[in-house]
Amino acid sequence: MADIAFRTPAKPAPTLTTAATSLLRPDVERNSPWAKRYRQLYGKYVADLGGGTGLSEGQRQLVRRCAAITIELEFMETKLANARARGRSTRLDQIEIFQRALNTQKRLLESLGIHRGRIAAHDAAPSLSSILRGEGSRGSRGSRAGARP
C-alpha cells in the first residue's frame, strides 16, 4: 500500500473582522453594539491607512485607541443631544470631558496621518498675502464674496 502523506490544512488568512475581534479583550462581549462598532471603525481606519499588512504595531495600537475613543465620543454625543431634546441643560463637566476626548481623537488621527478631507486646510482658504495681492478671492477676481459695493 502506498504511503499517503497527510497534510494539515493551511490556516486561512485572518480577515480584518477576525483581526479586529481578536484585538478586543477576552472579557468583552463580542456581539455587543460597542464591539460591532469597534470592528467597523477599526476596519475603516486600517483601510484609510492602506490596509493592515503594512502597519507597524504602533500604528495598530493607535488605530485601536482611535476606534475606542470614537465610539465613546459617539455615545457622549447621543447623551448630550438627548439631554437637550428633553429640555435639560448640559453640565459643564460633561462638555469638558467631551472636548478633551475630541482633542485626543484629533491628535490620534493626525498621528496616524488620517485627515478629515482630501483638501488640506492650507489649500481650502487663500492666504492673507494672496488676498492682499488680489489673487486669493473666492468670488470673481478682485472682488470679495459678500462685499457691498
> pLDDT grade, residue 54 (50/70/90)?
confident
Let me know if residue 76 belongs to a domain.
yes
Q: Residue 63 belongs to what domain range? A: 16-114
Let me know if residue 121 belongs to a domain.
no
Hey, which of 6-15, 72-81, 130-139 has the most confident mean pLDDT? Answer: 72-81
**What secondary structure letter does DSSP report for 144?**
-
Let me know if residue 79 belongs to a domain.
yes
Let me know if residue 61 belongs to a domain.
yes
- Tell me the pTM: 0.61
Do the beta carbons of residue 69 and residue 75 sit within 8 Å?
no
List of residues 6+ apart from 145 with CB closer than 8 A: 137, 138, 139
Q: Which residue has the higher pLDDT, 11 or 43?
A: 43
Domain count, the chain: 1
